[in-house]
Structure 1
Amino acid sequence: MNSARPRRPTIRDVAEAAGVSRGTVSRVLQGGHWVSPEASRAVNAAIKKTGYRVNPHARSLATKRTNSVGFLLTERLELLFEDPNFAELMGGVARALAEIDVSLVVLMAGTAAEQRRASDYIQQGHVDGVLLVSWHNSGMDLVGQLHTAGVPLISCGVPLGYERKIGWVAADDREGGRIATAHLVALGRRRIATITGPQDTAGARQRLEGYREELGDTVDEALIERGDYSEASGARAMRALLDRAPDLDAVFAANDRMAAGALTELRAAGRRVPEHVAVVGFDDAPVARRTDPELTTLRQPFDRITSEMVRLLMQVIDGAPPATITLPTELVVRGSA
């Protein structure tokens, strides 16, 4: 019995099956530059017919690429498991990269030591580019180092201080804040409070701006309370708002976790939702469908955000200038408002 393994198909086999040169096959495999549509179709059909697979190690040596991308989270590790948005973003990025056969490397950088290690790892060339997730002032030095080093970067959300220097994909947070507030106004609510996210992030700032823009001259500063996106901070902020403004009749929370905390505190205070106080969140996270009543919220298009982040990063890796994309949010009306 012949136990030898079948010979692995080569570029020569693909070229013969497609009726083109080996150089044409190589150009198709490297992105299709200077190849006619007819030749590209013939090569791709031949790849399927022969069962040819790219040798990733050989391609890495030829292109000086690692064929991997970093997912850089400038948050403490616990938040990766506490906040479902980060898990959703990671899953979406992983799916988008899998479609183009690129590996994902998760890099935590929530402390100074982690940021130093992440910077060294990235600048040593272990990844071809980086997707930035989360944006606080504590991560600005790290991003500055990577930008100065010429590392291809795309941010999830507007990167404060680097808006015109690196590419980004973001939901339209300002318009989302305006839509949420306008919905509460349309319900006849007149004492509309807001629980903001951390103001060293662009998304939280812009959601607050949308709230202010919709209310205009009627904004009452006593109805604005800051949170940190956690459920506990939403409860604390709701208590403070009720103490200062017991006549409030609506709340826009800058994310669903804080809105869930606000609901808990309203219930403890004997306020019925939405009869006494209407509540709107932001994100359409899983918690929005677990609250009682279920949350009215602004849905972020996470699948689209992650696919566009990957697409823009691969373009930057290939030498294109950074680009930016803003995507619309969608009001999802449920029982809380």
Structure 2
Amino acid sequence: MASPDSVRKPTIRDVARVAGVSHGTVSRVINGGHWVSPEARTAVEEAIARTGYTVSHAARSLATGRANSVAFLLTEPHHLLFSDPTFALLLRGATETLAQRSMTLVLLVADTAAERANIEHYVRAGHVDGVLLISSHESNPLLASLIAAGIPTVCSGVPLGDRAHVPTVSVDEEGSAREMTRYLMTRGYRKIAVITGPDDTPGGRFRLIGFREEMGDGFDPDLVEQDVYSSEAGAAAMTRLLERAPDIDAVFAASDVMAVGAIAAIRRAGKRVPEDIAVAGFDDSGLAETHDPPLTTMRQPWADISRTMVDMVLDVISGTPRESVVLPTTLVVRESA
């Protein structure tokens, strides 16, 4: 009886024979290439399942000079990866999309200068083929370093500063904030506060701009708070707002996590949501729907964002230029406002 080690493993030519296509077509399907008809792709995928063929990533890397992996790079404190559900949604979507291409996602977190240096060295050494930059701060030098090194990079959100040559996948931050602010105003709220993110991030800066522009003459700088995206920061910001203006009747928090913190602070102050103060968020990351009360929020298309980022970075890796993409948001009305 033959030992398991002596049983011949199926090859790419076996797959081609079963599928009735050339081994070149099989190779293009395996490597996620274009120019393969849907019929041929289906035939190859069925033949792979029938033969039990598995890709040799080591051999493919030697042949192509690629690592067959992409970095998911988060430039935030580590705890936000677990406390902010938006990052988990993007991580899951990117992982699933890359798995369909038989590629691996490598999670990298660079908060400190030492972490940034280590990750820059890791990426430059060729351990990944490209980078999905999930968050960016204007003062963070990492993006500039990636660009200077010629690392294929795609950003989630439009980075601040001169980054015109970096493809991005974003939503209309200003327009979305204007839509939410307009909704609150049409509901009859007049003394509307805003809690937004750091000014050196695109979400923090542009959502505040959209709010201010939509409020027009009704904009009051004393009703503005900016802080990090966390529940604790949202609660602290709401407490400060209530101390300055206890007659606030609505608040727009530029993330669901901050909105949850704001609601906790409102309740500690003896007020009700939405009867005394309406609260609106931004993201619709799952937290909004399950919270009590459920949050009115701006829904970002998380699956589309992560899928588009992966498609884009793979094109950039293969040498195909890509234009930046802006995806639509959706106003979701629930009980909080």
List aligned pairs for 1:1-337, cutoff 5 A: 1-4=1-4, 5-17=6-18, 21-23=22-24, 25-26=26-27, 29-30=30-31, 46-139=47-140, 141-337=141-337
SS in 1 for 2:79: helix
Percent identity reads 54
Q: Structure 1 pair 293/11, CA: closer, same or farther in 2 (3 Å)?
A: closer
Q: Distance in 1 between matches of 2:38 and 2:225?
A: 58
2:189 and 2:327 mapped to 1: Cα distance? 28
Relative distance call for 1:235 and 1:19 in structure 2 (3 A) is: closer
Decide whether the 8 Å contact of 2:280 with 2:296 is kept in 1.
yes
State the distance in 2 between where 1:15 and 1:292 align.
55
* Structure 1: distance between partners of 2:294 and 2:216: 29
Cα contact 1:71–1:106 (8 A) shared by 2 = yes
Unaligned runs of 5+ in 1: none
| Aligned 8 A contact 1:280 1:336 in 2 | yes
In 2, distance between residues paired with 1:74 and 1:152? Answer: 17
Bigger shift: residues 188-197 or 77-86: 77-86
Instruction: Report the CA distance shift for 1:186/1:105 in structure 2 as closer, same or farther (over 3 A).
Output: same
Deviation at 1:325, TM superposition (A): 1.4
Q: Is the 1:238–1:265 contact (alpha carbons within 8 Å) kept by the matching residues of 2?
A: yes
CA distance 1:130–1:333, shift in 2 (3 Å): same
Which whole-Å deviations, capped at 9, do the CAs of 1:18-63 have from their partners, x for residues lacking one? 5555455545555556777877676566545544333211111111
Deviation of 1:236 after TM superposition, in Å, equals 1.9
Task: Give the count of matched residue pairs.
Answer: 336
Could you list the runs of 5+ residues in structure 2 that have no partner in the other structure?
Answer: none
- Alpha-carbon separation, structure 2, partners of 1:203 and 1:74: 15
Displacement of 1:9 in angstroms is 2.1
User: 2 CA distance for matches of 1:34 and 1:298?
Assistant: 38
Counterpart contact for 1:229–1:257, Cα < 8 Å: yes
Q: Which moved more, 1:24-33 or 1:293-302?
A: 24-33
* Structure 1 residues 9 and 291: CA distance shift in structure 2, 3 A: closer
Deviates more, 1:124-133 or 1:207-216: 207-216
Q: Quick one: distance in 2 between partners of 1:304 and 1:105?
A: 20
Which amino acid in structure 2 is aligned with residue 249 of structure 1?
Answer: D
CA distance 1:13–1:178, shift in 2 (3 Å): same
Distance 1:256 1:250 in 2: 15
Is the contact made by 1:177 and 1:211 (CA closer than 8 Å) also made in structure 2? yes
Deviations 1:234-267 (A, max 9, x none): 1222122222222221110111121112112222
Q: 1:297 to 1:22 in 2, by over 3 A?
A: closer
Moved more, 16-25 or 194-203: 16-25
Displacement of 1:16 after TM fit?
4.0
Alpha-carbon distance between aligned partners in 2 of 1:266 and 1:18, rounded to the nearest angstrom: 63
RMSD value over aligned CA atoms?
A: 2.3
Greater displacement, 130-139 / 285-294: 285-294
